[in-house]
Structure 1
């Protein structure tokens, strides 16, 4: 009996060491994937610069970058510079929706929004996830995750509009939950969008395997 227990214990240790056990489970369980085409990926970039000077797509990876002194995305806008993917054609107003993507932020990018839910009852956004000095924060406040530089991470954002909550998962682990900003014309975005203050001169993020799910 003791020998059998030891064999099981050794097997479990080997499984963990091989990375076969993933903490936190799968946030997409119970959700239905929404088909995406190239038409669903709308690019926003400084209005006076060609797209290929702020965006590239190669081997399934979207690379987006912007500089602190770039123009906004529209001549009539007073917002900060951005290069972002806006998930188009899947705006939502109710139900439970989820964004999934694998992101990468290089060392040095700071004060940049890398993912967001745009739209709210009051204000422009429901959720902002920013990188400050390698840490991910909710707007410029609550800490969501640490040590995000120079590594691919899986980001899942679940928005339960009917119950009024947003939940953030990093690498399958629930890291943050917050009350949303009320109903609105809602959609997901990712890329780099300069914060109002404390930004690096150069900002960059990369994204791959972007998916949308719903219940």
Structure 2
């Protein structure tokens, strides 16, 4: 008779494990905000023309940078980057969401491809990086393996009041953790060199959307 509850518990655990990997729509309950190219400010190495590090064709933003490039301003001490900084939607409260489809070609490594800027314990609340084909939250944990040469949907939800961050990949919750303190926050995407980087880094993005509650 004792075996029956154990069987039921095992079955319930199996069901929970299976359903936890089902895709959902993270944007349900959110309001989509107007967004146009006027909200996209390109940051690139200060000493090269924009079209040598960024292109926008057929709805696809393409970013690339070299490890030998200059920072985005002459006075910056940061690593090379080519990114879009989303303008017009800086926030200090509320629940905000970034959505986009990312693509990283093989060979690009040691690079941040999306950020939530602002924090008290660090300059950022979140970074999504790529190391040897794996998408990671900062350096770890791994959120998605084998990301090279394919499109994947990214949804990042930042609840400022609750100080939480969630990351969905292709509609599946891959990370949930704490925020990094109050600040003025905003979204960025593109390529920003990190540790152990490849000499050339590239990412592509399309269908960018911003939501809030």
Q: The residue matched to 1:190 in structure 2 has which SS? A: strand
Relative to the length of structure 1, the TM-score reads 0.88
1:154 & 1:143 partners in 2: Cα distance?
16
Q: The residue matched to 1:83 in structure 2 has which SS? A: strand
Q: The residue matched to 2:206 in structure 1 has which SS? A: strand
Q: The residue matched to 2:38 in structure 1 has which SS? A: helix
Corresponding residue number in structure 1 for 2:199: 201
Corresponding residue number in structure 2 for 1:111: 110
**What RMSD in Å do the two structures reach over aligned CA positions?**
1.0
1:102 & 1:23 partners in 2: Cα distance?
19
Corresponding residue number in structure 1 for 2:209: 211
Aligned length: 193
2:95 & 2:172 partners in 1: Cα distance?
19
Q: The residue matched to 2:26 in structure 1 has which SS? A: coil
Relative to the length of structure 2, the TM-score reads 0.89
Q: The residue matched to 1:203 in structure 2 has which SS? A: strand
Unaligned runs of 5+ in 2: 1-20
Structure 1 residues 35-67: Cα deviation after superposition (integer angstroms, max 9, x where no partner): 012111010000000000000000000000000
Q: The residue matched to 1:92 in structure 2 has which SS? A: coil
Deviates more, 1:31-40 or 1:96-105: 31-40
1:100 & 1:180 partners in 2: Cα distance?
18
2:91 & 2:120 partners in 1: Cα distance?
13
Deviates more, 1:134-143 or 1:150-159: 134-143
Structure 1 residues 60-89: Cα deviation after superposition (integer angstroms, max 9, x where no partner): 000000000000000000100000011011
Query: Which aligned runs of 4 or more in structure 1 are off by greater than 3 angstroms?
Result: none
Deviation at 1:178, TM superposition (A): 1.1
Corresponding residue number in structure 2 for 1:148: 147
Deviates more, 1:134-143 or 1:42-51: 134-143
1:30 & 1:130 partners in 2: Cα distance?
28
